A and B are shown apart, each in its own frame.
Chain A
Amino acid sequence: MSARDSDWDGVRLHVVTGKGGTGKTTVAASLALALAAGGRKVLLVEVEGRQGIAQIFDLPPLPYEERKIAVAPGGGDVYALAIDPEEAMLEYLEMFYGMRRAGRMLTKMGVLDFVTTIAPGFRDVLVTGKTSEAVRRRGKNGKRLYDAVVLDAPPTGRIARFLNVTSEVAGLARVGPIKNHADLVRGVMASPETAVHFVTLLEEMPVQETLDGITELRAAGLPPGGIFINMVRPALLPETCLRAARQGRFDVGELALGLKAAGLADGPADATAVAEALGAEVAEHARRTELEARERGTLEKAGRHRYELQLLADGVDLAGLYELAETMNNQGAA
């Protein structure tokens, strides 16, 4: 592996979580590209059956199969896998018990559906189990097949339970094969090769959930990673101007003159009207940046690496993912 300067050297499994609406899947996809940059091989995994990866890369729905979906800047491949718990169960039965046909029978009778419904801990252990298998898998040369695995995980509110499979399963199975499997998976999740990253916006609720999530992970003995601050707007206006706007002292007259100079107004009255409307926009922006600064300060206190990802003005598309990946590489996230 090339010795690159990244904050997460040695990490093989990057788990990405975040509150709904923060752009978790976008960040996971970009992180996979960023990690693959320069000739590495990365697997991007999704687990919630939403086909979010396919949508974001503009592909048909992904099967339960690892396939190459993108080429990273400077060479490097991103593979993707949509884990289906049912398929993962069949694979597990075959791998550990050589029972493929019997597994099909269980599925047909609805046993699997039933067990994973009434005991979501089992579902989680299948999904995290498949992920950790991919992390540990070695190629013919004895080296790890993937340089890194990125897991687009469930939202912040569920993340600790999702990763803390042992305790979830322990209530159901104190001994036996499931318990052993859960212990193995837990070992991977809690190892220094794993980092759980949080995606947030500079807004109160997602920031609070991020801090709560970090606390929860620590309590569960799981390794918190970095904080990805998503959809950050560029700072366009100088602080003095923002301060003035907050105090209602924004100079509309000066703006009106500028508008006239730019040929955007048909006369003084029009210039003033447009300037006032823009002034209202500036005031709102100023209030917002003030809140953002406060949330940024709150996040600093968490003492984790932080990365700021720019808002994609045209929405999330393939080009946008590469832009974000570059930002991540530049900031040392990958």
Chain B
Amino acid sequence: MARNVPVLEIDAILDDSRTRIVVCCGSGGVGKTTTAAALGLRAAERGRAAVVLTVDPARRLAQSMGLTELDNTPRLVDGTTGEGTLHAMMLDMKRTFDEIIEAHADPERARQILTNPFYQSLSSSFSGTQEYMAMEKLGQLRRSGEWDLIIVDTPPSRSALDFLDAPERLGRFLDGRLIRVLMGPAKAGGRSAFKLLNAGFGIVAGMLTKVLGAQVLKDLQTFVSALDAVFGGFRQRADQTYRLLQAPGTAFVVVAAPERDAMREASYFVERLAEERMPLAGLVVNRVHLSPADALSAARSTAAAEDLEARGEHELTAAVLRLHAGRMQLSARERREREHFASAHPTVPLTLVPAMPVDVHDLEGLREIGGLLAAP
């Protein structure tokens, strides 16, 4: 019944010195960050100089790697074994953004941008910026050359795709005719377009003033023109990072839980990565329920429990059989979800991680997950 699903060979990926970047992606709540951390630890203990870039780790997971503050600097994780090293860091998106501005604008313009209310909203808001900054930080870590393997945990996006789109999106705005309109006639190109745009600007500005208020519009214009001046550098960096992600040294690992929503997101993600020609390594299915007694089916188990209950014998056995039937039912449902995925994406390698009764609290826990990820 089981299809011949290719196996995701985690160790082969981690051990290959050509693998320089592993990106963990997937919808929220599927154990993405834990997977990223476990991969990092395993890589380090197999000899790599690895760094894990986490975006918004749960407190205890961060603590398990000795991370206590969001300081945007990779810290050495103590307690790893073997030749390799593990560094870990938490992304500070605002600081990362500030640094880009400072690097690409003269001090006066940088000040203008950094104090603009729109910039402050953009750089500290959750959606979009986090994705963009995670990618920017990834580029920085890669260029620093200090690590031979970077493992990045993507933000828990509303849509799992945001992190691919974020740089593109900001670029599109700043390149488009919108910016010419917002910045007024001064930026209008050819003579023939001049009049039209000028008139267009008048109408648009009038509407925006009415809806947003004059001050907001002024702030917006200041922000856009200041940002426009630094955007050349911006776009170049975003393009570089995008190409870095497409390069053969990158491995995308899609993380999912064996539930319908998460698997649907995973499917979508796999398709999207293919469209963007991003190198997909495979799918990790976390929190899978397996049973040590899987030869005993849910149906037989339930029937036997009913029989015992009817006879009023072996109450405990009946209860255990009910428990087992529930487990087998859950396990069958999860298998169906995986099979759906596999029939839609028969070539995508897959690995399963059994559900753990306890959350990860320490390196030992991460090590265990790493072992399960690599187990055939």
Contact A109 B178 (CB under 8 A): yes
Contact A21 B30 (CB under 8 A): yes
Hey, which chain B residues are within 8 Å of A269, CB to CB?
A: none
Contact B28 A282 (CB under 8 A): no
Hey, which chain A residues are within 8 Å of B125, CB to CB?
A: 119-121
B210 is an interface residue with CB less than 8 A from chain A: yes
Hey, which chain A residues are within 8 Å of B30, CB to CB?
A: 20-21
Hey, which chain B residues are within 8 Å of A236, CB to CB?
A: 319, 322-323, 326
Contact of A20 among B156, B178, B324, B333 (CB under 8 A): B156
CA distance A72 to B296 in the complex (A): 39
Contact A264 B296 (CB under 8 A): yes
A48-B158, A258-B314, A262-B321 in contact; A117/B169 too (CB < 8 A)? Answer: yes
Hey, which chain B residues are within 8 Å of A175, CB to CB?
A: 213, 215
Hey, which chain A residues are within 8 Å of B313, CB to CB?
A: 258, 261
Contact B316 A255 (CB under 8 A): yes
A284-321 interface bits toward B, Cβ cutoff 8 Å, 1 = contact, 0 = none: 11011001000000000000000000000111100000
CA distance A4 to B129 in the complex (A): 46
A20-B28, A111-B204, A118-B122 in contact; A237/B323 too (CB < 8 A)? Answer: yes
Scan residues 28-59 of chain B and give those whose CB is less than 8 A from a CB of chain A: 28-30, 56, 58-59
Hey, which chain B residues are within 8 Å of A97, CB to CB?
A: 210-211
CA distance A175 to B117 in the complex (A): 14
B199 is an interface residue with CB less than 8 A from chain A: no
List the one stretch of A33-41, A131-139, A154-162 in contact with chain B: A154-162
Closest residue on chain A to residue B220 by CB atoms? A115
Hey, which chain B residues are within 8 Å of A220, CB to CB?
A: none
B370 is an interface residue with CB less than 8 A from chain A: no
B358 is an interface residue with CB less than 8 A from chain A: yes
A102 is an interface residue with CB less than 8 A from chain B: yes
| Cβ distance A248 to chain B, nearest Cβ, rounded Å | 15
A267 is an interface residue with CB less than 8 A from chain B: no
Contact A241 B316 (CB under 8 A): yes
Of the four ranges (under 10, 10 to 19, 20 to 34, 35 or more), the interface on chain A belongs to 35 or more
Contact of A177 among B212, B293, B320 (CB under 8 A): B212
CA distance A216 to B318 in the complex (A): 46
Contact A284 B357 (CB under 8 A): yes
A256-286 interface bits toward B, Cβ cutoff 8 Å, 1 = contact, 0 = none: 0111011110000000001001101110110
Contact A118 B317 (CB under 8 A): no
Contact A173 B291 (CB under 8 A): no
Hey, which chain A residues are within 8 Å of B318, CB to CB?
A: 258, 262
Hey, which chain A residues are within 8 Å of B358, CB to CB?
A: 287, 291
CA distance A203 to B257 in the complex (A): 15
Hey, which chain B residues are within 8 Å of A205, CB to CB?
A: 58, 359
A54 is an interface residue with CB less than 8 A from chain B: no
CA distance A181 to B314 in the complex (A): 67
| Cβ distance A238 to chain B, nearest Cβ, rounded Å | 7
Contact of B324 among A155, A263, A278, A316 (CB under 8 A): A278
CA distance A111 to B206 in the complex (A): 13
Contact B317 A258 (CB under 8 A): yes
| Cβ distance A213 to chain B, nearest Cβ, rounded Å | 14
Hey, which chain B residues are within 8 Å of A68, CB to CB?
A: none
B282 is an interface residue with CB less than 8 A from chain A: no
A161-B126, A274-B296 in contact; A204/B60 too (CB < 8 A)? Answer: yes
B196-220 interface bits toward A, Cβ cutoff 8 Å, 1 = contact, 0 = none: 0000000110011011111110011
A232 is an interface residue with CB less than 8 A from chain B: no
| Cβ distance B193 to chain A, nearest Cβ, rounded Å | 14
- In the complex, 11 of the A-B residue pairs with CB atoms within 8 angstroms, ordered by the A residue number, are A102-B203, A106-B204, A110-B172, A117-B173, A154-B158, A178-B216, A234-B326, A238-B319, A262-B307, A262-B308, A313-B333
18 extra A-B contacts, CB within 8 A, seeds A157-B56, A255-B317: A55-B261, A105-B203, A111-B181, A117-B170, A119-B118, A119-B125, A120-B126, A157-B126, A203-B359, A208-B58, A238-B319, A254-B314, A257-B314, A258-B320, A274-B293, A281-B293, A288-B357, A314-B333
The 6 A-B pairs with the shortest beta carbon distances in the complex, nearest first, are: A258-B317, A176-B213, A20-B28, A21-B29, A20-B29, A258-B314
